[in-house]
Chain A
Amino acid sequence: MHHLSLRALLLATAVSLAPAAFAETPADTLVVAAQIDDIISLDPAQSFEFSGNDVDNNLYDRLVDFDPMDLEAGFKPSLAESWEVSDDGKTITLMVRDGVTFHSGNPVRAEDAAWSLQRAVKLNKSPAFILNQFGFTPENVDEMVSFDGNKVILKLDQPYAQSFVLNCLASNVASVVDKETVMGHAEGEDFGNTWLSTNEAGSGPYTLQAWRPNEAVQLTAYEEYWQGAPAMKRVIVRHVQESSAQRLLLEQGDIDVARNLTPTDVDGISGNDELTVGTEPRGRILYMGLNQKDPLLSKPEVVEAMKYLVDYSGMENSFLKGQFKTHQNFLPEGYLGASDENPWTYDVEKAKQILSDAGITSGTVKTAVRDIREYVDVAQTLQASMAQAGLTLEIQQMTGAQVLDSYRARQVPIFIGEWGPDYADPNTNASTFAYNPNNADDAKLSYLAWRNAWAVPDDMNKATIAATIEGDTDKRVQMYLDIQKEFRDIAPIIPLFQRIEQAGLQKNVKNWNAGGAVSSVFYRQVTKD
């Protein structure tokens, strides 16, 4: 009996060992390998993770949107074909485009657009604050956001800069959902949240065919899309955790795009004639937060010295190569008001001088670092250079959840990690890095300044608020440049690098766009030749 089975097994093995025909991916299908295990909901009123927003960006339209072929132009008309601002600056009226239909076949109406905003505010999930900035609350939003015919009318509590409001309306939370369809699936008071977490009701270029968590997302082109049917009829995003596995799949022609390659694997494919590497600066800032509750780190001289103890170019050219570039400002390149001034360089002697002038010759800091390769490497490099200046850094590696827990409780002495902007307006970073209205322990705020126990000076708090109301865009840009200058001078939160996304691509893939600094991935403009 065992002989027979053995033979059967050998036979079966032989069958599998016969070379399978691995053709390239179909011409009308885009196959992407990425880490997509962070998706917990596809409901645009709830999704706040990178991969979830990547999916939503292609399922839904917003009143205003970015053009994937010209991100630098900023927001453009989308479901709203035009808008006007009242004289007092406190009412914005948007005219909804005629003739657009949801995937269900229902027409897109001003009522849907207004209801989508009201819904997001009332559900009050994490991204709701983006809309609440305009004075919307679950109680007043029916009054503040309304519709009339094809007009959506937004009443604001302050005359906010038009660019601020419209940048926020271009964010995922402001996606326009199909009211009839969603309410058909509502349970209790959930506004269809449970259903919409795993389904969609949009008007975007793609429809959701399947989402299998930790495995794959499949999208199908929406042929009736108002800006024209996308060239890629199917988009398949597969969860592939390992960079080396992504690279193998790419080299074998089984995928078109690999989104999470390590510097080693990017180097590895750079000699391959079939492949290219697409490079895009993203919005995430890798920064170092010095907790002001720490007796050593709260000394201004130590803060100053730390800026010279970071080996910016050394890290940029070694283990961060191609994944990060030096960037010493809280607004990422690609944002309104971004600054490209990077005044600090790695200079241990200077740091020592600053410390010894202040009478500091030694000191120890114990900190927790999230167990992500880049963060740990940065922390260890910092540890080495701090040692040269007489400072001891003890590092404890922890999971993301653990570090976040302590960070929220203001218990991480030196935080090393990334901050990703929440929407495409400079206020998204200014309001967290350079704003802290209440530095008390029991305030429990989610601002980065608060988490590092930094009492932001009054003038900076005021300037950050004022910049949201400045109607003149040139003046607004100048205000952010000024805030960032002061921030560089005094803040104990030190921006170090900006994230760069390097995607491995098959040569025939054109117009790949992961969304730059301001948005999420777009598939509708992608072609293959």
Chain B
Amino acid sequence: MVKAPGQGNLPPAGGGAPGVRRALFRKRARSIGGVALSLGLTLLGLLLVTFIIGRVMPIDPVLKVVGERATQAQYDAAYQAMGLDRPIWEQFLRYMGEVLRGDFGRSISTGHQVTDDLRRVFPATFELALLGTLIGVFVGVPLGVVAAARRGGWIDQIARVVALVGYSMPIFWLGLMGLLLFYGMLGWVGGPGRQGIIYDGMVPSVTGMILIDSILAGDWGAFRDAFSHIILPASLLGYFSLAYISRMTRSFMLEQLSAEYVTTARVKGLSERRVVWGHAFRNIFVPLITVIALSFGSLLEGSVLTEIVFSWPGIGQYITKALLAGDMNAVLGGTVLVGTCFVLLNLLSDILYRVLDPRAK
């Protein structure tokens, strides 16, 4: 977890004297500058490493462009046009220069601008990951808390089995079985893809997240359709994330429940419900946020197998496909985006720490 610089030694919030306020402002500014710097350095490192990996990979991106039949002359022309004849450091600097101007170049595996591609694939993954994480949190956290409170009880046993299955089942198989059952046999949910044919392209794209866009457009039919398509893959991802979240919640809770203040509270005669939810649970917020942020972050990378089974045009498939084609513009663009998300998530959980942890105030 990246800690924002300056954390822990902030002066008391809402300080009275103007001098203190100015000092506070300076601190904040320095803190924001520090965050920006760490963000920049992280991304630069990420770009450099990805770039080098891309260049030493034994995949020839030129072939993807010119195809199997190309003559040597056509091959050479494309090789030069892609700048691959220059030294690696020059290629990197050139690339960085373009990125700083906001140009991630053109993807050779889709023929589109990388930024356009990302604008299309990322919201698809974001929507799915968000819903999956919500399911993971709203089911996994209570499950973990109850499992810890009734340690060894039947809920605990169920939680253990759920987590175990979640860890060990191949998602590919579960996805296909889910489709077969809920789509093929029961007809409860929509099939592979983000939308039914009727609604395809009917909702104007604002955020790229079809659930949100259909609400914005006031098109409830489209919303219902999109929901029926997203619920199965989201539940599947939610299941894997809840397996992780419930286990972590359980172990955080066990730690709290064995603490002295809990014994004190019990001795004072508080109901078990208030002990668990009112006291112990509040104290696991901080580590839990880290867990949730990490889990969300890993879903944001895109779950390639889920995306393939459900024909979900997300960032996982996009980056994987690009990688196999040696399509470095797309890989680098995708990496920067996912990396930025991770850094921002870290930042967000740091901020939440301060809000939720009285010690940080």
Partners in one complex: yes
For the complex formed, measure the closest distance between the CB of A299 and the CB atoms of chain B, giving whole angstroms.
Answer: 28
Q: What is the 8 Å Cβ interface bit string for chain B, positions 308-328, against chain A (1 contact, 0 not)? A: 111101000110010011100
Chain B positions within 8 Å of A445 at CB level: 71-72
Q: What is the 8 Å Cβ interface bit string for chain B, positions 49-67, against chain A (1 contact, 0 not)? A: 0000000001110011111
**Interface assignment of B117: CB less than 8 Å from any CB of chain A:** yes
Chain A positions within 8 Å of B109 at CB level: 40, 213
**Alpha-carbon gap, A409 to B164, bound state (A):** 48
**Interface assignment of B183: CB less than 8 Å from any CB of chain A:** yes
Is there an interface contact between A216 and B200, defined as CB atoms closer than 8 Å? Answer: yes
Is there an interface contact between A6 and B69, defined as CB atoms closer than 8 Å? Answer: no
**Alpha-carbon gap, A18 to B176, bound state (A):** 21
For the complex formed, measure the closest distance between the CB of A27 and the CB atoms of chain B, giving whole angstroms.
Answer: 13
For the complex formed, measure the closest distance between the CB of A323 and the CB atoms of chain B, giving whole angstroms.
Answer: 21
For the complex formed, measure the closest distance between the CB of B113 and the CB atoms of chain A, giving whole angstroms.
Answer: 9
Is there an interface contact between A17 and B188, defined as CB atoms closer than 8 Å? Answer: yes
Chain A positions within 8 Å of B180 at CB level: 248
**Interface assignment of A19: CB less than 8 Å from any CB of chain B:** yes
Chain B positions within 8 Å of A58 at CB level: none
**Alpha-carbon gap, A49 to B193, bound state (A):** 23
**Interface assignment of B6: CB less than 8 Å from any CB of chain A:** no
Is there an interface contact between A126 and B67, defined as CB atoms closer than 8 Å? Answer: yes
**Alpha-carbon gap, A422 to B121, bound state (A):** 32
> Would you list which residues of chain A between 5 and 39 have a CB under 8 Å from chain B?
5-6, 9, 12-13, 15-20, 22, 25-26, 29, 31, 37, 39
For the complex formed, measure the closest distance between the CB of A405 and the CB atoms of chain B, giving whole angstroms.
Answer: 5
**Interface assignment of A2: CB less than 8 Å from any CB of chain B:** yes
**Alpha-carbon gap, A399 to B324, bound state (A):** 8
**Alpha-carbon gap, A213 to B109, bound state (A):** 9
Chain B positions within 8 Å of A127 at CB level: 69
**Interface assignment of A82: CB less than 8 Å from any CB of chain B:** no
Chain A positions within 8 Å of B138 at CB level: 2, 5-6, 9
**Alpha-carbon gap, A26 to B65, bound state (A):** 37
Is there an interface contact between A126 and B188, defined as CB atoms closer than 8 Å? Answer: no
Is there an interface contact between A29 and B72, defined as CB atoms closer than 8 Å? Answer: no
For the complex formed, measure the closest distance between the CB of B139 and the CB atoms of chain A, giving whole angstroms.
Answer: 8
Among A6, A42, A244, the residue within 8 A (CB) of B176 is A244
Is there an interface contact between A236 and B188, defined as CB atoms closer than 8 Å? Answer: no
**Interface assignment of A342: CB less than 8 Å from any CB of chain B:** no
For the complex formed, measure the closest distance between the CB of A366 and the CB atoms of chain B, giving whole angstroms.
Answer: 17
**Alpha-carbon gap, A238 to B313, bound state (A):** 11
In this complex, the member of B67, B112, B309, B310 whose beta carbon has the largest number of chain A beta carbons within 10 angstroms is B67
**Interface assignment of B141: CB less than 8 Å from any CB of chain A:** yes
Is there an interface contact between B69 and A399, defined as CB atoms closer than 8 Å? Answer: no
Chain B positions within 8 Å of A444 at CB level: 72
Chain B positions within 8 Å of A252 at CB level: 183-184, 187, 191
Q: Please judge, given known A-B contacts A9-B135, A213-B111, A446-B70, whether A254 and B191 are in contact too, CB under 8 Å.
A: yes
**Alpha-carbon gap, A82 to B60, bound state (A):** 45
For the complex formed, measure the closest distance between the CB of B29 and the CB atoms of chain A, giving whole angstroms.
Answer: 35
**Interface assignment of B198: CB less than 8 Å from any CB of chain A:** yes
Among B111, B120, B139, the residue within 8 A (CB) of A41 is B111
Band of interface residues on A: 35 or more
**Interface assignment of B156: CB less than 8 Å from any CB of chain A:** no
> Would you list which residues of chain B between 116 and 160 have a CB under 8 Å from chain A?
117, 120-121, 134-135, 138-139, 141-142
**Interface assignment of B263: CB less than 8 Å from any CB of chain A:** no
**Interface assignment of A197: CB less than 8 Å from any CB of chain B:** yes
Is there an interface contact between A241 and B187, defined as CB atoms closer than 8 Å? Answer: no
**Alpha-carbon gap, A197 to B193, bound state (A):** 25
Q: What is the 8 Å Cβ interface bit string for chain A, positions 232-249, against chain B (1 contact, 0 not)? A: 000010111110110011
> Would you list which residues of chain A between 187 and 219 have a CB under 8 Å from chain B?
197-198, 209-210, 212-216, 218
> Would you list which residues of chain B between 167 and 215 have a CB under 8 Å from chain A?
176, 179-180, 183-184, 186-193, 196-198, 200-201
Chain B positions within 8 Å of A41 at CB level: 111
Chain A positions within 8 Å of B67 at CB level: 48-49, 126
Report the nearest A residue to B58, measured CB to CB: A402
**Interface assignment of A485: CB less than 8 Å from any CB of chain B:** no
Report the nearest B residue to A2, measured CB to CB: B142
**Alpha-carbon gap, A306 to B22, bound state (A):** 85
Report the nearest A residue to B71, measured CB to CB: A446
Chain A positions within 8 Å of B43 at CB level: none
In this complex, the member of B71, B77, B198, B231 whose beta carbon has the largest number of chain A beta carbons within 10 angstroms is B71
> Would you list which residues of chain B between 59 and 88 have a CB under 8 Å from chain A?
59-60, 63-72, 74, 77
Is there an interface contact between B308 and A242, defined as CB atoms closer than 8 Å? Answer: yes
Among B68, B108, B198, B228, the residue within 8 A (CB) of A16 is B228
For the complex formed, measure the closest distance between the CB of A245 and the CB atoms of chain B, giving whole angstroms.
Answer: 5
Chain B positions within 8 Å of A73 at CB level: none
For the complex formed, measure the closest distance between the CB of B262 and the CB atoms of chain A, giving whole angstroms.
Answer: 20
Chain B positions within 8 Å of A25 at CB level: 197
**Alpha-carbon gap, A248 to B197, bound state (A):** 15
Is there an interface contact between B313 and A215, defined as CB atoms closer than 8 Å? Answer: yes
**Alpha-carbon gap, A524 to B174, bound state (A):** 39
**Alpha-carbon gap, A37 to B330, bound state (A):** 15
For the complex formed, measure the closest distance between the CB of B188 and the CB atoms of chain A, giving whole angstroms.
Answer: 5
Report the nearest B residue to A9, measured CB to CB: B138
Chain A positions within 8 Å of B68 at CB level: 404, 446
Is there an interface contact between A6 and B187, defined as CB atoms closer than 8 Å? Answer: no
Chain B positions within 8 Å of A22 at CB level: 187
**Interface assignment of B110: CB less than 8 Å from any CB of chain A:** yes
**Alpha-carbon gap, A423 to B150, bound state (A):** 71
Please name the 5 residue pairs, one residue from A and one from B, whose CB atoms are nearest each other, closest first.
A213-B110, A215-B313, A444-B72, A126-B67, A16-B231
Interface residues of A (CB under 8 A from B): 2, 5-6, 9, 12-13, 15-20, 22, 25-26, 29, 31, 37, 39-42, 48-49, 124-129, 197-198, 209-210, 212-216, 218, 236, 238-242, 244-245, 248-249, 251-252, 254-255, 399-402, 404-405, 408, 422, 444-446
A to B CB contacts below 8 Å, 6 in the list:
A17-B189, A214-B317, A215-B120, A218-B200, A402-B59, A446-B71
